[in-house]
């Protein structure tokens, strides 16, 4: 019995020693001076800044980033793809509520990004990125889930058709943009969905004849000079 007890103590001590060693083996560099294995950094106040794993100086797997205010919940989680700079990224509030998620190439957002309401579940907006700037369709939603606005971007500027809606689903604005400025036909509607005025823009300036309506009937026409 004494022999078995002694063996148990030895095994426990060996396990504790190995565990201690493994816990200490963080923030290591390989023979080439590149980060390898588990890395963990803290803020000056002792709170965790990030924890993750490297291989030959490159991030691999899951990285968790924290606010200097709290180490309870990560404010960002990045999951890196193998042999690529791409990472799936999710951002959170300090309390752990999901704010947004999408794909990043290095520090640049790419593809579809989703942003969430305060509950972290319902969509607030969806945006598309190319090389870190807005490109393509973006949609904003009411808390009810209905579309509030649908716009298009080109190289981070509004470009194409823009539609804005009341929460009831009624179209309010039907506009067109080019390189961030209003260009082309514009139509404005009241809350009942009736056209109230329409005309053309050129570089954010009203041009030509603009028509004004009451109860669906034209009541006046204004002519604007270019």
- pLDDT, tens only, 99-127: 999 999 999 999 999 999 999 999 999 99
Q: How confident is the model at residue 18 (pLDDT cuts 50, 70, 90)?
A: very low
CA distance 214 to 221: 12
Q: Are strands 70-80 and 86-92 parallel, antiparallel or unpaired?
A: antiparallel
Q: CB-based contacts of 60: which residues, under 8 Å, 6+ apart?
A: 53, 54, 80, 82
Q: Is the pLDDT of residue 177 over 50?
A: yes
Q: CB-based contacts of 22: which residues, under 8 Å, 6+ apart?
A: none
Instruction: Name the pTM for this structure.
Output: 0.84
Beta strands in the chain (DSSP E): 28-29, 35-42, 48-55, 58-67, 70-80, 86-92, 98-105, 108-116, 123-130, 133-134, 136-141, 147-154, 157-158, 160-165, 171-178, 181-182, 184-189, 195-202, 205-214, 217-224
Q: How confident is the model at residue 14 (pLDDT cuts 50, 70, 90)?
A: very low
Phi-psi region for residue 208, left (φ > 0), alpha (ψ -120 to 50) or beta? Answer: left
Question: Quick one: pLDDT at residue 225?
Answer: 55
- In sign, the C-alpha dihedral spanning 116, 117, 121, 122 is negative
Mean pLDDT value across the chain:
90
Which of 14-18, 158-162, 212-216 bottoms out in mean pLDDT, i.e. has the lowest? 14-18
Q: How confident is the model at residue 211 (pLDDT cuts 50, 70, 90)?
A: very high
3-state secondary structure of 9: helix
Q: Is the pLDDT of residue 171 over 90?
A: yes
Question: Quick one: pLDDT at residue 3?
Answer: 47
Which of 20-34, 82-96, 117-131 bottoms out in mean pLDDT, i.e. has the lowest? 20-34
Q: Are 88 and 62 in contact (CB under 8 A)?
A: no
Percent of the chain with pLDDT over 70: 88
Question: Quick one: pLDDT at residue 84?
Answer: 85
């Amino acid at each position: 019995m004494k022999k078995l007890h002694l063996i148990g103590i030895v095994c426990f001590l060996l396990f504790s020693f190995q565990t201690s060693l493994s816990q200490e083996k963080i923030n290591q560099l390989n023979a080439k001076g590149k980060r390898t294995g588990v890395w963990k950094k803290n803020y000056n106040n002792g709170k965790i800044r990030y924890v993750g794993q490297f291989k030959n100086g490159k991030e691999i797997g899951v990285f968790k980033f924290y606010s200097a205010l709290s180490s309870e919940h990560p404010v960002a989680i990045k999951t890196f793809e193998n042999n690529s700079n791409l990472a799936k990224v999710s951002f959170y509030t300090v309390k752990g509520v999901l704010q947004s998620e999408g794909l990043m190439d290095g520090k640049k957002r790419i593809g579809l990004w989703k942003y969430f309401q305060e509950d972290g579940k319902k969509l607030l907006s969806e945006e598309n990125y190319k090389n870190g700037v807005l490109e393509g369709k973006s949609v904003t939603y009411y808390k009810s889930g209905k579309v509030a606005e649908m716009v298009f971007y080109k190289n981070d500027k509004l470009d194409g058709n823009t539609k804005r809606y009341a929460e009831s689903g009624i179209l309010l604005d039907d506009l067109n943009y080019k390189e961030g400025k209003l260009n082309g036909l514009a139509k404005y509607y009241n809350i009942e969905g009736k056209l109230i005025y329409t005309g053309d823009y050129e570089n954010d300036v009203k041009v030509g004849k603009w028509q004004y309506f009451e109860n669906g009937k034209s009541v006046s026409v204004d002519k604007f000079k270019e």
